[in-house]
Amino acid sequence: MAEAITVPDTVLFKLDKQESRLTTFNEEKFSNALVRVMKNKDHIVYFLSGHGEPDIASQEAIGLSLAKAELESERFVVKQVKLSELGKYPEDADLMIIAGPKYDLLPQEKIMLEEAMKNAKPLMILVDALHDLPNLKSLSADAGIAFNDDLLIINPQDPRSKVLGQNNAIVSELDQFSPITADFAKRGGVAFVTANTRSLAVIPDNKLAMKTVQLAKTADMIIKVKNVRTEADLRGGVQAEQIEQGIFDVFAVASGQVGGDKVASADSKAVSDVPGEANKAKELRVFVGGTAQLVTNLGAQRGENLDLFVNAVNYLLQDEDFLSIRAKESDPSRLDLTTSSSQFLLLFLAFIYPLLFFGAGTYTWAQRRRA
């Protein structure tokens, strides 16, 4: 055949030289196939390594193989790099992702990433709580987003702490206008559950004169344990003044013009013209998250976590037309996280269900005794 289709029940999507074939069918696969043929290039995404980050090939709970597979299904080329060994920022990199480092950047690595940002190379930074990384914090602060030294947990008095585990943050207040979160906000009832989470803070007057948008905040039952940089800070116990309950930022994005004819002022968000330069300024975008559990295999089992991650990747690469589309399941996998429903779920699991089971057993025993 002209298209060399050799497998029965094959659907071919083709646009110019791009093609994609499907042999199993659902809404998500059709959407991804359309994305693959409509993109005019294969973006190359690098995950930074060398600082204790999870491996992109690892299938363990803390690995990143699911995130890698999701990106590859949407026609991204995914690689891993150690800047300290390469000695320079990868020339073919369209995006650098720093996900889950346990150790700080080396000074020369920070310089490489700073130069890349000045050249409008987009960056994603996802850092768990209880890891003190001064150089990485400084890099993020340059773009106007600060990592706070704290740990976000579910209030132990809230029933959801029993269902989900206390060391989680429930992120449910989403920005309605950013292309990263708008679809989730319109859908309603979407909540991201992430472990090992810290809060973020906006720095209005930042080095790169970036404009920041707070994308996602926690539900109001979340407790912030303040002034904890590492696990060692928790071993001596937590004082009452360290506890604060409220709504806290977890994901944010920064954008602004850098390079070319425009030079940002460290003292102002204004961007001034520089005469005599021919190059045009380019837009830099930086996505920051107070947890890396969004993209680990354990976190990625929740489809909405992967969608948020892929949406952020497409936004950073200025491919908003290809924001992730996932079919809404008829039987949703996510838990309803409202207080009333979680109280009923806990009551059902702890009391009602065992009583029903015990009652059925007693009835069967009595019937057999009569026989």
Q: Which of 121, 126, 140, 286 is nearest to 207 (CA)?
A: 140
Lay out the sheet containing 192-195: strands in order across: 76-81, 43-48, 95-99, 123-126, 282-289, 249-258, 211-218, 168-174, 192-195
Average pLDDT over residues 298-327: 82
With 60 as the cut, is the pLDDT of residue 236 above it?
yes
Query: What percentage of the chain carries pLDDT values higher than 70?
Result: 73
- Name the fold adopted by 42-336: Rossmann fold (3.40.50)
Q: Tell me phi and psi for residue 369, to 5 degrees.
A: -65, -40
DSSP 150-208: EEEEE-TTSTHHHHH-SSEEEEEEE-SSSTTTHHHHHH-S--EEEESB--EEE-SS-TT
Amino acid at 88: K
The ranges assigned to domains in the chain are 1-38, 42-336, 338-371
For the stretch 292-312, pLDDT in tens is: 999 999 999 988 999 999 999
DSSP calls for 88-125: S--TT-SEEEEES-SSPPPHHHHHHHHHHHHTT--EEE
d(CA 253, CA 271): 19
Mean pLDDT of 26-53: 77
pLDDT greater than 90 at residue 259: no
pLDDT of residue 25: 56
| CA dihedral sign, ordered 15, 21, 22, 23 | positive
- Whether 24 has a pLDDT exceeding 80, the answer reads no
Give dist(CA 175, CA 261) in Å, integer. Answer: 32
Confidence tier at 41 by pLDDT (50, 70, 90): confident
Cα separation, 103 vs 112, whole angstroms: 17
Mean pLDDT score, 163-167: 88
Residues 359-370 as b/e (b if ≥16 CB within 10 A, e otherwise) read eeeeeeeeeeee
**pLDDT, greater one: 218 or 359:** 218
Sheet architecture: strand order including 150-154:
150-154, 222-226, 243-246
Question: What's the confidence (pLDDT) of residue 268?
Answer: 42
Tell me how far CA of residue 160 lies from CA of 87, 155, 166, 269, 326, in angstroms: 47, 8, 8, 41, 26
On the question of pLDDT at 326 being above 80, the answer is no
Mean pLDDT score of the chain: 84
Kindly indicate the confidence band of residue 334, based on its pLDDT and cuts at 50, 70 and 90.
very low
| Tens-place pLDDT, residues 98-146 | 999 999 999 999 999 999 999 999 999 999 999 999 999 999 999 999 9
Q: What is the pLDDT of residue 356?
A: 58
82, two tokens? 């150690």
pLDDT for 34: 65
pLDDT > 60? residue 205:
yes
Q: According to the model, what pLDDT value does residue 15 have?
A: 61
Which structure tokens are listed for 18? 């791009």
Task: Decide: 170 and 220 in contact? Cβ < 8 Å.
Answer: no
Answer whether residue 18 shows pLDDT above 80. Answer: no
**pTM, 2 dp:** 0.78
* 185 burial type by CB count under 10 A (0-12 exposed, 13-18 middle, 19+ buried): middle
Strand bridging mode 282-289 / 249-258: antiparallel
| Confidence class for position 74, pLDDT limits 50, 70, 90 | confident
pLDDT score of 73: 82
What token pair was written down for 238? 């937590």
